[in-house]
Each structure stands twice: as structure tokens, then as C-alpha cells.
Amino acid sequence: MIIPPARRTGSVQEYYFSRKLKEIAEINKRKAAAGLASVINLGIGAPDGMPPADAILALTESARRKDTHAYQSYVGIEELRKAFAAWYLRYYGVTLDPSCEIQPLVGSKEGILLTALAFLDEGDGVLVPDPGYPTYTSASLLTQARIIRYDLREDKGWKPDFDALEQTDLSGVKLMWVNYPHMPTGASASPGLYREIVDFALRHRILVVNDNPYSFILNDHPLSILATPGAKECCLELNSLSKAHNMSGWRIGMIAGDRELVAQVLKVKSQMDSGMFKPLQLAAVEALKQGPEWFRELNAVYARRKVLAGAIFDLLGVRYDPDSSGLFLWGRVSDDNPYAALTPAGEKSLGERVSDTVLYRSGVFITPGFIFGKNGENYIRISLCAKEEVLVQARKQIAGILNN
């Protein structure tokens, strides 16, 4: 390079799935040359269903109009902010002022970095869940903040250990990332858990950012931390149409909370883009009008897929919670797992060894849990974003491993 990169980039690596998909693409080239089927990818949670028909119609019709192709407001069109507010009131029981307490985003992932940039300075402490979504760590590191991992463990239902947090040195801690229903474990929140989180944040003057894109998936009672008394004083919430409306590629999200907190996020966002394409916003308005029947039909599909994913885990000898929520099934690998034994240990965790065995010996990719943190090392994860026949075929291919 003609110049060195910024020092802050040395704190992060290329996203795991970006690297892994390149490897799988190379494997698929070799398979194609040999006349073999491609790798079955059960890794990423990218919904494969169609978005609501009304959303697609709104997109196509509005895109044909001459008045929809100009720059848009940084705060989003009024119709979209009102639609998000109505959605939160209808399903979460949360009242939000659409004029100042909701900021549309280009996907909620954008909001993670925007929030970090808005509130973190070099050396500030950030509480990051382990296991948890890797972007919480990378976004925080890009601001040169100080990462303080808090443990989530299976024996505590993947909930924060508040006794341990109280014993942690919290000096200089400004922000805490929270995510329920939890990715990758599928653990759900409860009103009681959210009360504990809000109480902890208020007492220690910490901003909590709750990442909430999975609340409708395999979950009959969606919750928002903003429904908790006192939450608006100390919490922001990210949400998205990606998972609940099959619109991951559309990149439509939001952040909500107290007007002063949201204004700080907008201050950063307004330096980085020029508003969302208006037809996308109009389509989102229609998507947000979906009634309970939309989510019932969506979850009926995921429920059937979870049973088939569980059958793969049963075959692999992996223990899992059949009542988990979200787009993934998360399972624990035992120390004596025969599939792990087929890959040399080296420095690899049990989960990574099982993942490698399954990929290289059966042509099926399952995500190793180590990418979500140290507490995920002995786990693997299956995405439910694969059709039933694909999950059946994946199990069939895996079944031949120990017989070869």
C-alpha cells in the first residue's frame, strides 16, 4: 500500500463469514469441476422467504414515479417513522414519538457502528456479551474503546450474571451491548430480566443498547426493553425488518429511545449518507402493517425447520434446547464427540473441530461457536434459513461421515 492503514483497523479482522464464504466458494469451484454438488450452507441467518406482497407492490409502484428518486431526509419520511411507532405500540406496548424518538437506519447493523461512534471515546469501557454478535466488539474497537466481556453461560440461561457484574471494575464504562432473543443461543428475555438490566444501567450510569431483531422469530410474546419503566433514561433499542419480514437484503432498520440519545446517533449518521431510497421507505411502511397472521405463518415454517435441525444435532450427538427462539439452533458438543475426534485438535475448539469435520467430509457448513466468544467454543450453530428438503439432505450427507 502507498500509505499504512489507520491504526484502529489493526484491532479488527475481516468478518468471519466474509472469510469463510470465500473458502466455501473455492470448495464449490473444485466440486463443480468434479461434477459434484455445492456445499450446503447452514451458516448465515439470511431469511429465504418472500417479503410481504404489499411491500413489494409499494416498492415497484413508487419506483416508477418521477418524484421518488431524489435525496431523502436524513430522519426518514414521516410515514415511515409513524409506521415504526405504530408497530412498537401494537406489538411491544411502547409509545414512541415519531418526530424525535425513532431514527430509520440502513439496517440495524449500521446502527451498531453509529451508536459506538456517537457515544464512545478512546479508552471508554464497553460491556460486551460472551457469546455474542461479533460486531459489538468490532464496532467498539473501531472507536478505540476498551472491551470488557461479561459472561453468558448455559447454566444461567444465557442471562447476565449481575452478581459478577457488580464485582467488575466498572470505572469508565459507558455502554453495554444487550441482545435478546439472544444470538447465537436463542435465549429469550423476560420483563424481569429487562428490569434487572435497566436497574443496573441506572445505578451505574451506563447506556444500554438492546439489539432486538429476533423478537418475532419462534417467539409468541415479542418484548422491547423500552417497555421497562425508566428504560428511556438509559436505553436505546435497535430493530430491523430483516428477520421478521424476510427483508434482510433491503437493509431497513431503526433505532429508538430518548430524543437526546437518538439525536446523537443522527448527528453521526447525517455525516455518512444522504437518506434511504424513498421507495424502500414506502415499502417498509406496508411491511410494518402486517398482522399477527404474518408472524404465525412465518413461525410455522421455522418451527418445522427447527425440528429438522434438531435431527441433525441428534445425529451429531449435540445437546440443544428445543424451546429456543430466533433464527438458529445452538448446540453443545461433548468432550468425547466422535465427529470432533475426526479433526486434529491443535488449537481448535470442540465446536470448530465438529464444524470442520462436517464441512470437509460431508459438504455441509455449520457455524462453529468460537466466533461468538470464548463461551461459545464448545458449541455449534445451525441456521434455520434453509428449506426443509435442504436440511433433510444435509442430515443425509452427514450420516455417511462415520461410515466412511
| Angle formed by the axes of helices 278-287 and 53-63, nearest 10° | 160
Per residue in 159-172, pLDDT (tens digit) is 999 999 999 999 99
Same structural domain, 160 and 285: yes
Mean pLDDT, rounded, of the chain: 96
CATH code for the domain of 224: 3.40.640.10
Same structural domain, 21 and 109: no
- Scored b (16 or more CB within 10 A) or e, 243-275 reads bbbbbbebbbbbbbbbeebbebbbeebeeeeeb
User: Which residue, of 290, 306, 330, is where some domain finishes?
Assistant: 290
Domain assignment of residue 362, yes or no: yes
Domain assignment of residue 404, yes or no: no
CATH code for the domain of 390: 3.90.1150.10
Same structural domain, 358 and 250: no
Domain assignment of residue 383, yes or no: yes
Same structural domain, 274 and 302: no
Instruction: Name the domain count of the chain.
Output: 2
- Count the neighbouring beta carbons within 10 Å of the beta carbon of residue 383: 23
Per residue in 174-199, pLDDT (tens digit) is 999 999 999 999 999 999 999 999 99
| Cβ atoms of 329 and 310 closer than 8 Å | yes
User: Which residue, of 256, 290, 324, is where some domain finishes?
Assistant: 290
| Cβ atoms of 87 and 102 closer than 8 Å | no
Q: What domain range is 197 assigned to?
A: 53-290
Same structural domain, 44 and 79: no
DSSP secondary structure letters along 157-175: TT-B-HHHHHTS--TTEEE
Domain assignment of residue 392, yes or no: yes
Per residue in 249-274, pLDDT (tens digit) is 999 999 999 999 999 999 999 999 88
> β-strands 235-240, 173-179: how paired?
unpaired
**pLDDT exceeds cutoff 70 at 404:** no
Same structural domain, 149 and 285: yes
**pLDDT exceeds cutoff 90 at 72:** yes
CA distances from 131 to 304, 369, 374 (A): 26, 8, 7
pLDDT attached to residue 336? 94
Same structural domain, 122 and 201: yes
Q: Which residues have C-beta within 8 Å of that of residue 35, sequence separation ≥ 6? A: none
State how far the Cα of 65 lies from the Cα of 63, in Å rounded to an integer: 5
Cis peptide bond N-terminal to 131, omega within 30: yes
Domain assignment of residue 140, yes or no: yes
Predicted TM-score (pTM) above 0.75: yes
Same structural domain, 141 and 222: yes
**pLDDT exceeds cutoff 80 at 62:** yes
Cell numbers of 264, please? 446523537
Same structural domain, 27 and 153: no
Same structural domain, 84 and 131: yes
Per residue in 299-331, pLDDT (tens digit) is 999 999 999 999 999 999 999 999 999 999 999
- Predicted confidence band at 64 (pLDDT cuts at 50, 70, 90)? very high
Same structural domain, 65 and 176: yes
**pLDDT exceeds cutoff 80 at 403:** no
DSSP secondary structure letters along 239-266: EESTTTTT-GGG--EEEEE-HHHHHHHH
Same structural domain, 61 and 109: yes
User: Which residue, of 290, 323, 345, is where some domain finishes?
Assistant: 290
The letter for the amino acid at 135 is T
pLDDT over 90 for what percent of the chain?
Answer: 91
Domain assignment of residue 1, yes or no: no
Domain assignment of residue 344, yes or no: yes
Domain assignment of residue 2, yes or no: no
